[in-house]
Structure 1
Amino acid sequence: MSLLLRRSLALFLLVLLGAIALPARAGIADAPGDRLQVTVITYGPGDTYWERFGHIAIELRDTRDGEAISFNYGVFDFDEKGFLLNFARGRMHYLMDAEPTDVDTAWYVQAGRSITRQRLAFTPEQAAALRDFLLWNLRPQNARYDYDYYVDNCSTRVRDALDRALGGILKATLDARPGGMTFRQQTDRLMSAQPWLMLLLDFGLGPYADQPLTGWQESFIPMVLQRELRSVKVPDGRGGEQPLVVDEREVSPNRVQAPPPQAPDLRGPLGLAGATIALLLALARRRAPVMFAILGTLWLLLSGLAGLLMLGLWTLTTHHSAWANANLLLFNPFAFALIPAVWRAARLRPARKWEDPLLIAQLLAGLVALALHLLPGVVQQNQPWLLLGLPVWLALAWSLRAARGATTGVA
């Protein structure tokens, strides 16, 4: 049994049976619903890349004793057998956990991450139902779940637990509200502090990441769930309605770099990079053949490796957000086969028969990628990568054809 599973078992037993050092846990387990106060605690993004999406927890407080337990779904175990392999294959196992709220709060305050508390208008029956579900979920045999970045994470699990106790009100409200961003846009926005990682993630995301979202779906981000909770109304017990969020307050300010409100526009930087590489290839072909060969080789190597990565994500993993990536039409393993052609062109040697058909096929694939992007409906939003790849492929094709013309002239 892993360390975290043993910890979950200990926490579960403490919650059910109580302990001298933690008397409040027995109170949480046994308290009637009218003594339970339900609060959602949202923690802002941190500095480390896995903290950029923020975190969220449900606090249950015994109003008689004043002590509280926070339940969250964001624990993973590096010591789990095959963790890194499972992570690469998209089979990540996360755990539910529970801690005294003061312990959690102290850690996030020290880390400089914002902490916002939203007290919710739960009836005693709803609070008791939520408590019973969370305690059931905390059992070691129930605590582990298969993590998914976008549809099953620490935020969606909190959202679903709240909705379950509220009888579906939360889902009905948020499903009727359009989301503000797509999975891709939220990912780019939150990861913008690590530009290279942001670019890698954006490159690897397929059309799944560009579907329009509802407020329910976009609540995979803790800060979005925090915002959406403010719009929910629940019965007030007198035939009317009241806001679900009774009280909201920030108990600790943010002291780390906050994400921008919108995703960065990658079209300009990547378009400029594509035009620059294309121009360098065209100029170097005549003036610096060796530089042309080196630059062309680097481009083809990166294209081939990127293609292998995308193929692996599509065929060997459960990362469904990376499946059917249209960038494969621009960057694919066939690029490796053109590396000798670049060096032959630099040395003014005749081309092989299969090189022209392969080059034409690559150009046609680029045109197909462009056409797919222009089709109406939900398509992959990969304009930045089209702006990067198409100019370079056109310049490379022109340079190879021009070099072959020079070869023919010399002969």
Structure 2
Amino acid sequence: MSALRHWLAASLLALLAWLPAAQAQAEPASAPAPRISLLSFAPGPVYWQRFGHNALMVEPGDGSATAVYNYGIFDFFQKNFFLNFARGHMLYRLAAIPVPNTLAEYAAEGRWVYVQELALSETQARQLAAFLADNALPQNAEYRYDYFLSNCSTRVRDALDQTLGGALKQAWSGQPSGSSFRREATRLMSPVPALMLGMDYILGPAADRPISLWEQAFVPEVLMRAVRAVRVDGQPLVAREGYWLPPAGGPEAPEQAFGYTLPALLLGALLATALVLLHRQRRRPAARGAYLVLALLPSLLSGLGGVVLLAAWTLTDHWAMWANHNLLLFSPLSLLLIPSLAGSARAQWRPGRTQRLLAALIAFGALLSLPLQLLPGAQQQLPWIAFWLPVHAVLAWNLRQSGRAPPVATR
């Protein structure tokens, strides 16, 4: 009996010793699930802010600090940053940033912040929070950046889709957006016309194919709108939403980019007309000097622009710039015309047969770009054709006339 009492007492002591440890182990599992929210940020004035931005906010259920998981971190001082940027090898990374820091940054820039709390199940919320925490570890944080296929918004989209068992991709992949990568990029850049023109010039035909809503969600504001329509198990994915920081009158993204085909045509026609008139007045030194400037500048622009397009196609991984049809308008061959055009200031200037054929070839390339617009999936380059076709045609005609005519008599 005494032995039984000793055994019971020892068992009770062991049980009492085990209970606190078991309770401590059970506490994290019994803590409320984290709350996950999608944060969307207004476009900013700097060129890399023009697409807008987004992130995922995790509010842990255990009372620890709320973190904003931001996939948009890059470092100008990263080794070979600008070379990697040019080659299409740019690295971005994920970082967990405190909420006050995030809000202070966007408030200082006058950019709105919109929050959408997501109605995830406890299992889904824990899974997503664990994924983000693991993804933010130094050994996992970096990723290869792509403007359209792998940016801050697509990473957020993919994390949500993974958590929802592929529901987003299934719903959005077959849903036409009515847009293209070019249309989205140019409209987002259009508040800064120089950036919009640069984007339109550098993008090739791959940027003009129709894209689905899934692909269009590379734009943060598109993802923000798209999640509103998502239902999971019959319930809306967005539980509640609203502005954390209201709009402050900064540059908003327009619904579409401004059209500039007519202005480009007028400018090209004006330049072509000036070249014709000045060529007819070549007996005057002032006319020859003006002709020299107006012929050299577009030829230099065309040639250097073509070299950039050719380099983007052959030397980089920027797939959206490959096989750019603007090479028919921005022709590297134009650089070969410059020595001949430089002689146009002389009254005795007579371009040789090779230069005349070269100018004709450049003009033919510009002309060829016009019927290409009729082909399915054609690159949208009509404004560039409107400007360059008359300019290249007149330069070719002037060289032909100068090569066949005797030297002009001077006064």
Return the TM-score normalized by structure 1: 0.87
TM-superposed CA distance for 1:133, in Å, is 0.9
Identity of aligned residues (%): 42
* Alignment deviations for residues 21-40 of structure 1 (CA, whole Å, 9 cap, x no partner): xxxxxxxx956685211110
Change (3 A) 1:30 1:111: farther
Q: Which residue of 2 aligns with 1:254?
A: 247
- CA 1:100–1:32: 2 relative to 1, 3 Å: farther
SS class of match (2:296):
helix
User: How far off its partner does 1:400 sit?
Assistant: 2.1
**2:189, 2:291 → 1: CA distance?**
34
2:307 alignment counterpart: 308
CA distance in 1, matches of 2:28, 2:318: 41
Give the counterpart letter for 1:368 in structure 2.
L
Matches within 5 A, 1:252-401: 252-255=245-248, 256-287=250-281, 288-346=287-345, 347-375=347-375, 377-401=376-400
- Does the 8 A contact of 1:121 with 1:245 survive in 2? yes
Partner residue in 2 for 1:39: 37
| Cα separation, partners in 2 of 1:31 and 1:119, compared to 1, 3 Å | farther
Q: Is the 8 A contact 1:179 1:214 kept in 2?
A: yes
CA-CA distance at 1:108 after TM superposition: 0.8
Matched-pair contact (CA < 8 Å) for 2:31–2:62 = no
Q: SS in structure 1 opposite 2:120?
A: coil
SS in 2 for 1:119: strand
The question of 1:200 aligning with 2:219 is answered: no
Residue by residue, what CA displacement relative to the aligned partner does 1:49-88 show, whole Å, maximum 9, x if unpaired?
1111111010111356385211010000122111111111
Q: Distance in 1 between the 2:114 and 2:64 partners?
A: 19
Cα RMSD of the aligned pairs, angstroms, is 1.9
CA deviations on 1:311-336 (whole Å, 9 max, x unpaired) are: 11111111111110001011122101
2:45 is paired with a residue whose SS is coil
Matches within 5 A, 1:9-408: 34-63=32-61, 65=63, 67-235=65-233, 241-255=234-248, 256-287=250-281, 288-346=287-345, 347-375=347-375, 377-407=376-406
**After the TM superposition, which parts of structure 1 deviate over 3 Å for at least 4 consecutive aligned residues?**
29-34, 63-67, 343-346
The AA in structure 2 aligned to 1:151 is: L
**Alpha-carbon displacement from aligned partner over 1:281-300 (angstroms, at most 9, x marks no partner):** 11211231221121101111
DSSP-derived class of the 2:105 partner: helix
**Aligned counterparts of 2:157 and 2:324: Cα–Cα separation in 1:** 30
The aligned counterpart of 1:14 is none
Select the structure of larger CA radius of gyration: 2
Counterpart residue identity of residue 181, structure 1: S
Aligned residues: 376
Task: Check whether the contact 1:285–1:292 (CA below 8 A) recurs between aligned residues.
Answer: yes
Compare 32-41 and 160-169 and name the one that shifted more.
32-41
Q: CA deviation digits over 1:239-268, x for unaligned, max 9?
A: xx1111111111212221212221111212
Deviation, 1:393, is 0.8
